[in-house]
């Protein structure tokens, strides 16, 4: 009971303080809201980029052609060595006969040509179809494989994959940098708000100390005030995220550029997870800002 | 029984001013002690060390078993809960009513509303302000404001009440009213230490008197003997 009363008093004091310094709190709340909106955009971007990268990852196939004179045991050895690179999601062998069959299916002209081939005259090569686990390491993996015995040529969408990875990384870096900068600015602003709250209550604090309030009980309401600022600041970004992403998703009908590769991730549960992250960041930044002010200006 | 023991206390401020030195003093439970002396003699310094606003450089100050001289900052509140403090400037919160100002001190302890209400009315009656509970400090006279402060200081039933010139801003008549209130509180068992300039009050009250001069205790006059000593 006593603990409950103490806690409810902390919250009441914090609430009063937010209202008393409303114009100031409003500045902090807006700043945190702007930060969180950028965070939300960053989340939408990075999750979708991640999703997009994932589908590319699943789609990029490295075709490894083997020399004509490769023996059965050499072939086995190559498969083993490829697996040893550790970057293998799947590995399939495609014999030249299978390749010929596939070619036949492509069109009628090919079909008649291929029909004329025997095992000896088939100009196609045996190959391994490799799907990698980590597309960012694809270059490394390919160059390792290239050094192996009996490798003829290796093909993969080298250029495109490289470019995409570079773009994704750049986008990620920019958004992370922006978010960090905004968080720093916001926590300064919150620290300043709490500082002024402390000054506006300094008489009260002095009296509280005189009548025997513990340091913790003097500090906690200010920390809670930071918490409130964080919570209030995250409301609008959360609403924007939930409604905004849902309408974005239905506007594009779940796809970008009508390509099956570039799918938007579905809004549920993404928007709720994102909201939770926003609330968490708001709360942490709010409390961190006020904690800094309390440490600096409530020296006891 | 002894409530306060001060042994070999010395206090030098950062500026180099030696405010107190060689101070030895014992105060019993239930006593009423005046601290007098010229301006700058160290009265407020002594008072501040009692509620641990200042720390002595040397010696020990034991109050009810706590060595105040060694008390860490984070533990000061434990001492403060055992004593009440009254100053010359009233230190009331202007936006709170008389009632709220007194209740404020009790809310720190998380009593429940009923308990707080009962005790606030009790102490306001004791200081004679029961009919002004809803007024704000700026609607009160100086004497009334000081009585609110006293009510607030005793709301938590401290064993010790420390006053630094509580009548400093009041006219002689009002001062005497305040002294009557303090005397009553003292009679109920609270030990009181009061620093003052006002010789009239000290004369009339006939209590123990401690006289400081340039940071040194020069006279410790037993209860009732002050008048005789000074003639
Ligand atoms: N915070 C401080 N820093 C430096 N010196 C101080 C400080 N407080 C008091 N002093 C000095 O210590 C000495 C004692 O001061 P103190 O306030 O104890 O005197 P006092 O007896 O209360 O005087 P008054 O009757 O004028 O209130 C004075 O010389 C004063 O200048
Ligand atoms: Mg003084």
Whether A290 and A198 map to the same domain: the answer is: yes
**Can you tell me the distance from the alpha carbon of B163 to that of B185, in angstroms, rounded to the nearest whole number?**
13
B52 lines ligand 1 (CB under 6 A): no
Measured from the Cα of B48, ligand 1's closest atom is 18
Average pLDDT over chain B, rounded to an integer: 90
pTM over 0.80: no
Report, as an integer, the average pLDDT of B62-90: 89
Q: Is B44 in the pocket of ligand 1 (CB under 6 A)?
A: yes
Asked if residue A243 belongs to a domain, the reply is yes
Q: Which ligand is nearest to the CA of B37?
A: 1
Is residue A109 less than 8 Å (CB to CB) from chain B?
no
Structure tokens at B26: 């014992």
Q: Which ligand is nearest to the CA of B19?
A: 1
Whether residues B77 and A204 touch (CB distance < 8 A) is answered with: no
- The minimum CA-CA distance between A3 and chain B, rounded to whole Å, is 8
Q: Which ligand is nearest to the CA of B13?
A: 1
* Three-class DSSP labels, chain B: CEEEEEEEEEEECCCCCEEEEEEEEEEECCCEEEEEECCCCCHHHHHHHHCCCCCCCEEEEEECCEEHHHCCHHHHHHHHCCEEEECCCCCCCCCCCHHHHHHHHHHCCCCCHHHHHHHHHHHHHHCCCHHHCCCCHHHCCHHHHHHHHHHHHHCCCCCEEEEECCCCCCCHHHHHHHHHHHHHHHHCCCEEEEECCCHHHHHHHCCEEEEEECCEEEEEECCCCHHHHHC
Structure tokens at A214: 């513990």
A224, A190 in Cβ contact below 8 A?
Answer: no
**Residue B44 CA, closest ligand 1 atom number:** 22
If you write DSSP's letter for every residue of A63-102 in order, what string do you get? Answer: EEEEPTT--HHHHHHHHHHHHHTS--SEEEEE-HHHHHHH
Asked if residue A85 and residue A211 are part of one domain, the reply reads no
The secondary structure of residue A1, as a DSSP letter, is: -
Boundary-marking domain end, from A133, A155, A177: A155
Helix (H) or strand (E) holding A216: helix A215-251
Q: What is the pLDDT of residue B230?
A: 54
Length of chain B: 231
The number of domains in chain A is 2
CATH value at residue A65: 3.30.70.3040
How many angstroms separate the CA atoms of B33 and B40, rounded?
Answer: 19
Cβ–Cβ of A210/B51 closer than 8 Å?
yes
CB contact under 8 A, B108 and A2: no
Atom of ligand 1 nearest to the CA of B195: 22
- Ligand 1 atom with least separation from CA of B47: 18
The finding on whether B38 has its CB within 6 A of some atom of ligand 1 is: no
Give contacts of B52 with chain A, Cβ < 8 Å: none
pLDDT given at position B152: 93
Pick the ligand that lies closest to the CA of residue B18. Answer: 1
Ligand 1 binding pocket includes B45 (Cβ within 6 Å)? yes
Higher pLDDT: A37 or A7? It is: A37
CB B90 within 8 A of CB B146: yes
Q: Residue B154 in contact with residue B185, Cβ under 8 Å?
A: yes
* Exposure letters B51-77 (e unless 16+ CB within 10 A, then b): bbebebeebebbbbeeebbebeeeebb
Considering the domain boundaries, does residue A168 fall inside one?
A: yes
Judge whether A236 lies within some domain: yes
Counting ligand 1 atoms within 8 A of each CB, the residue from B11, B41, B213, B216 with the most, and so the one to mutate, is B41
| Mean pLDDT for the stretch of residues A296-300 | 77
Distance of CA B41 to the CA centre of its chain: 18
Surface of A (4-33) touching B: CB under 8 A: 5-6, 9
**Judgement on whether residues A142 and A228 belong to the same structural domain of the protein:** no
Q: State CA A7 to chain mean position distance.
A: 37
User: Per-residue pLDDT for A257 more than 70?
Assistant: no
Q: Is A128 helix (H, G, I), strand (E, B) or coil?
A: strand
| Mean pLDDT for the stretch of residues A188-211 | 84
Terminal-residue alpha carbon distance, chain B: 32
Domain ranges of chain B: 94-157
Domain identity same for A52 and A68 = no
Burial of A245 (0-12, 13-18, 19+ CB in 10 A): buried
B38 CA from centroid of ligand 2 (Å): 9
Cβ contacts (< 8 Å) between B82 and chain A: which residues?
212
The verdict on the CB of residue B39 being under 6 Å from ligand 1 is yes
Out of A29-33, A201-205, B47-51, B212-216, pick the least confident.
Answer: A201-205
Beta-carbon pairs below 8 A across chains A and B: 54
Q: In this structure, are A143 and A286 located in the same domain? A: no
* Domain match, A140 and A168 both: no
For residues A231 and A291, membership in a common domain is answered with: yes
Query: Is pLDDT at B225 greater than 80 in this prediction?
Result: no
A146 and A293, same domain (yes or no): no
A47 lies in the same domain as A169 = yes
* Cα A290 to middle of ligand 2, angstroms: 36
In a domain, A1, yes or no: no
Could you tell me the distance, in angstroms and rounded to a whole number, from the CA of residue A248 to the centre of ligand 1? Answer: 70
Q: What is the pLDDT of residue B231?
A: 45
**Would the CB atoms of B109 and A9 count as touching at under 8 Å?**
no
Query: Does residue A14 sit within a domain?
Result: yes
How do residues A112-139 score in pLDDT, each as one tens digit? 788 878 777 888 888 888 888 887 788 8
Share of chain B above pLDDT 90, in %: 65
- Which residues of chain A lie closer than 8 angstroms to B91, CB-CB? 203, 206-207, 210
Tens digits of residue pLDDT in B109-144: 777 889 899 999 999 999 999 999 999 999 999 899
pLDDT digits (tens, 9 = 90+) for A168-197: 778 878 888 888 888 888 888 888 888 888
Per-residue pLDDT at A255:
60
Same domain, A136 and A175: no
Residues of A in contact with B163 (CB under 8 A): none
Is residue A142 situated within a structural domain?
A: yes
In a domain, residue A74? The reply is yes
* A177 shares a domain with A290: yes
Q: Report yes or no for ipTM above 0.90.
A: no
Residues A269, A292 share a domain: yes
Tell if the CB–CB gap between B156 and A212 is shorter than 8 Å: yes
Residue carrying structure tokens 């609403």 = A239
Q: CA separation (Å) from B53 to A9, A209, B71?
A: 26, 10, 11
CB atoms within 10 A of CB A258: 8
Q: How far apart are CA B202 and CA A210, in angstroms?
A: 26
Boundary of a domain, candidates A106, A137, A155: A155
Enumerate residues 6+ apart whose C-beta is below 8 A from B113. none
Range of the domain at A16: 6-56+163-297
């Amino acid at each position: 009971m006593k603990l409950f009363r103490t806690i409810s008093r902390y919250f009441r004091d914090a609430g009063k303080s937010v209202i008393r310094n409303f114009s100031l709190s409003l500045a902090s709340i807006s700043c945190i809201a702007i930060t969180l909106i950028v965070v939300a955009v960053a989340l939408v971007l990075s999750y979708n980029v991640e999703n997009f990268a994932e589908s590319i990852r699943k789609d990029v196939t490295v075709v490894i052609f083997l020399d004509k004179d490769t023996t059965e045991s050499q072939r086995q050895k190559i498969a083993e060595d490829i697996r040893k690179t550790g970057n293998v999601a799947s590995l399939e062998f495609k014999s030249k006969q299978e390749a010929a069959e596939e070619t036949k299916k492509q069109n009628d002209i090919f079909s008649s040509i291929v029909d004329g081939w025997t095992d000896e005259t088939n100009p196609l090569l045996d190959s391994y179809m490799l799907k990698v686990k980590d597309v960012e390491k694809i270059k490394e993996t390919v160059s390792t494989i290239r050094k192996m015995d009996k490798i003829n040529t290796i093909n993969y969408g080298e250029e495109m994959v490289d470019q995409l990875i570079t773009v994704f990384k750049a986008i990620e870096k920019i958004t992370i940098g922006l978010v960090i900068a905004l968080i720093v600015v916001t926590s300064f602003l919150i620290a300043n708000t709490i500082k002024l709250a402390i000054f506006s209550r300094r008489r009260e604090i002095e009296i509280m100390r005189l009548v025997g309030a513990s340091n913790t009980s003097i500090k906690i309401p200010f920390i809670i005030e930071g918490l409130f600022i964080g919570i209030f600041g995250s409301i609008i970004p959360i609403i924007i995220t939930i409604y905004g992403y849902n309408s974005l998703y239905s506007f594009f009908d779940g796809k970008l550029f009508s390509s099956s590769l570039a799918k938007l991730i579905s809004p549920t549960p993404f928007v709720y997870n994102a909201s939770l992250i926003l609330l968490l960041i708001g709360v942490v930044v709010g409390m961190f800002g006020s904690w800094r002010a309390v440490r600096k200006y409530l020296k006891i | 029984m002894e409530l306060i023991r001060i042994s070999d206390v010395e206090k030098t401020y950062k500026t180099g001013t030696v405010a107190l030195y060689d101070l030895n003093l014992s105060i019993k439970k239930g006593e009423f002690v005046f601290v007098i002396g010229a301006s700058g003699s160290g009265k407020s310094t002594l008072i501040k060390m009692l509620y641990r606003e200042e720390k002595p450089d040397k010696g020990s100050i034991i109050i009810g078993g706590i060595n105040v001289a060694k008390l860490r900052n984070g533990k000061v509140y434990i001492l403060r809960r055992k004593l009440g403090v009254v100053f010359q400037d009233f230190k009331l919160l202007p936006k709170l009513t008389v009632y709220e100002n007194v209740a404020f001190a009790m809310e720190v302890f998380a009593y429940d509303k009923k308990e707080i209400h009962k005790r606030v009315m009790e102490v306001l009656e004791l200081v004679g302000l029961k009919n002004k509970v809803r007024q704000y400090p700026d609607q009160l006279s100086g004497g009334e404001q000081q009585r609110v402060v006293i009510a607030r200081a005793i709301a938590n039933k401290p064993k010790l009440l420390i006053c630094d010139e509580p009548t400093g801003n009041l006219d002689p008549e009002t001062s005497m009213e305040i002294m009557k209130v303090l005397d009553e509180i003292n009679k109920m068992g609270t030990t009181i230490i009061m620093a003052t300039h006002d010789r009239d009050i000290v004369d009339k009250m006939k209590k123990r008197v401690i006289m400081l001069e340039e940071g040194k205790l020069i006279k410790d006059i037993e209860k009732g003997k002050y008048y005789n000593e000074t003639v």
